[in-house]
């Protein structure tokens, strides 16, 4: 049973990176070059370098989590718009295929972005976390808070300050945010709810999910998220000997190999 809405580091930044072959892959044709827009926490630089790739022109958006998750002030849609900006830059630089990926809450956003835009080459989810349904089940006050936030959004007060309950790895915390942001991230049927988004991923987008054996969500993400989303035959589920925080280190070579092998 999946009990926890696991998240680590939250959305520290959103980085857009154009990948190009290093020396060992210098002869790969230009058409095979790919790009990745990675939401952090996660998807460390070493992962992209693991088999000869290096980052080029990487940028970061600190606005997403500059003050920490407890004071997040953007909605899922606004994060998608930030990723759109990086995708546009990468395409303008000649990138022909875009892979969107992330770790923890970043993996959650990668899935929702793929569902919302449906124009990327692949989606990579490393140790995906954040379960609004779990938060709603665990804390009785959340249902009322979501109703209040929805009413504020519907009356044009979505940007008003709002304080609401959340959970991170079994620990209760309070978000000091806006009504729109709280509703966006905590709605159990919304864009940040992976179980709601997974069935909506189109079959044209292959999915890579990596889970660590010591991740608290290990026993639920394959059945609840991966299987409903993995309609493309190139999709793959990988298990590594790692916890929630170090899945990217443990899986780096496998992730880059999978990206390199994407069908044309």
Cα dihedral 8, 72, 121, 30, rounded to 10, equals: -90
With pLDDT > 90 as the criterion, what percentage of the chain qualifies? 62
| pLDDT band at 139; cut points 50, 70, 90 | very high
Note the CATH number of domain 13-131+194-260: 3.40.50.1820
DSSP for residue 81: H
- What is residue 51's predicted lDDT score, i.e. its pLDDT? 33
Q: What is the pLDDT of residue 23?
A: 32
Res. 167 pLDDT band, cuts 50 70 90: very high
Residue-level pLDDT at 2 = 57
User: What residue spans define the domains of the chain?
Assistant: 13-131+194-260
pLDDT digits (tens, 9 = 90+) for 2-59: 544 555 443 333 333 333 333 333 333 333 345 444 444 344 444 444 433 334 333 3
Classified as helix, coil or strand, 240 is strand
DSSP letter (8 states) at residue 141: H
CB count in 10 Å sphere of residue 158 = 19
The torsion angle over the Cα atoms of residues 10, 167, 73 and 63, rounded to 10 degrees, is -10
Tell me the backbone φ, ψ of residue 13, rounded to 5 degrees: -160, 165
Q: Strand runs (DSSP E) across 79-155, as ranges?
A: 98-103, 122-126
Strands 161-168 and 53-60: unpaired
DSSP-assigned states of every residue in 149-171: HHHHHHTT-TTSEEEEEEEETTE
Contacts of 132 (CB under 8 A, 6+ apart): 5, 185, 186, 187, 188, 190, 192, 193
Q: What is the pLDDT of residues 169-196, one digit of tens each?
A: 788 999 999 999 999 999 999 999 999 9
Say how far apart CA 215 and CA 232 lie, in whole Å. Answer: 25
Q: Mean pLDDT over residues 121-145, rounded?
A: 96
Matching residue, tokens 């793929």: 114
């Amino acid at each position: 049973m999946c009990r926890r809405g696991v998240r680590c580091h939250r959305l520290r930044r959103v980085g857009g990176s154009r990948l190009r072959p290093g020396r060992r892959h210098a002869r790969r044709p230009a058409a095979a070059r790919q790009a990745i827009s990675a939401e952090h926490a996660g998807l460390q630089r070493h992962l992209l370098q693991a088999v000869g790739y290096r980052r080029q022109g990487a940028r970061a958006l600190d606005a997403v989590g500059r003050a920490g998750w407890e004071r997040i002030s953007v909605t899922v849609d606004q994060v998608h718009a930030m990723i759109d900006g990086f995708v546009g830059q990468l395409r303008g630089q000649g990138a022909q295929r875009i892979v969107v990926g992330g770790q923890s809450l970043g993996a959650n956003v990668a899935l929702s972005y793929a569902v919302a835009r449906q124009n990327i080459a692949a989606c990579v989810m490393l140790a995906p976390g954040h379960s609004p349904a779990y938060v709603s089940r665990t804390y009785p006050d959340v249902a009322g808070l979501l109703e209040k936030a929805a009413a504020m959004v519907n009356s044009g007060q979505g940007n008003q300050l709002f304080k609401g309950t959340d959970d991170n790895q079994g620990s209760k915390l309070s978000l000091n945010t806006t009504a729109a942001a709280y509703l966006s991230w905590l709605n159990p049927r919304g864009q940040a709810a992976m179980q709601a988004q997974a069935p909506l991923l189109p079959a044209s987008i292959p999915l890579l999910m990596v889970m660590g054996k010591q991740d608290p969500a290990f026993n639920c993400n394959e059945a609840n998220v991966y299987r409903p989303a993995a309609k493309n035959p190139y999709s793959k589920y990988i298990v590594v000997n790692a916890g929630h925080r170090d899945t990217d280190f443990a899986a780096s070579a496998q992730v880059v190999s999978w990206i390199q092998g994407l069908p044309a």
